[in-house]
Amino acid sequence: MAYMSQEGYDKLRAEIKRLEEIERPDVIRQIQEAREKGDLSENAEYDAAKEAQGKLETKIAQLKAELADAKILDLSKMQTDVVQILSKVKMKNVKTGMVMTYTLVSEGEANLKEGKISVGTPIAQGLLGKRVGDVAQIRIPQGNIELEILEIGV
């Protein structure tokens, strides 16, 4: 089961719709154009278009499976006393004093530019279950860091 926000669910539905209504017809058109060029056994364009179609259909199937497995979390019922998925966490690097804020989201919703990190990342894993004032000791590829939880919100 994949937990996600309503926003993440809606984005996933929109991506499936785009793939089905825009990308799929484009690939079908490419296949038809390649067929019209004659001998399919030596037609590289046809082979490439069929391969693209296979990849597209696989991606659509994966996204539909993710959508079917999704559980939308109601942000209005989220607790803010402990870090959990969809929590917005303000924290401070104990060593550098740098303050940062991240929202913990599902893998598919992660977007670092928007301050959203996957719950599968080492930082998110280290924050889960912590409370305001706790210091999380987290092992990352560059070494160990200590993050003090300053605020938890939604």
pLDDT digits (tens, 9 = 90+) for 103-145: 998 887 889 999 999 998 999 999 999 999 999 999 988 889 9
CATH topology (fold) of 2-72: Helix Hairpins (1.10.287)
Specify the long-range contacts of residues 142-145, CB closer than 8 Å, at least 24 apart.
145/93, 145/94, 145/95
Q: For residue 150, what are the contacts with CB-CB under 8 A and spacing of at least 6? A: 90, 91, 92, 99, 132
pLDDT band at 1; cut points 50, 70, 90: low
Domain boundaries 75-153, corresponding CATH code? 3.10.50.30
* Residue-range domain boundaries for the chain: 2-72, 75-153
> How far apart (Å, rounded) are the C-alpha atoms in residues 91 and 1?
28
The burial of 137, by beta-carbon neighbours within 10 Å (0-12 exposed, 13-18 middle, 19 or more buried), is given as exposed
pTM of the model: 0.68
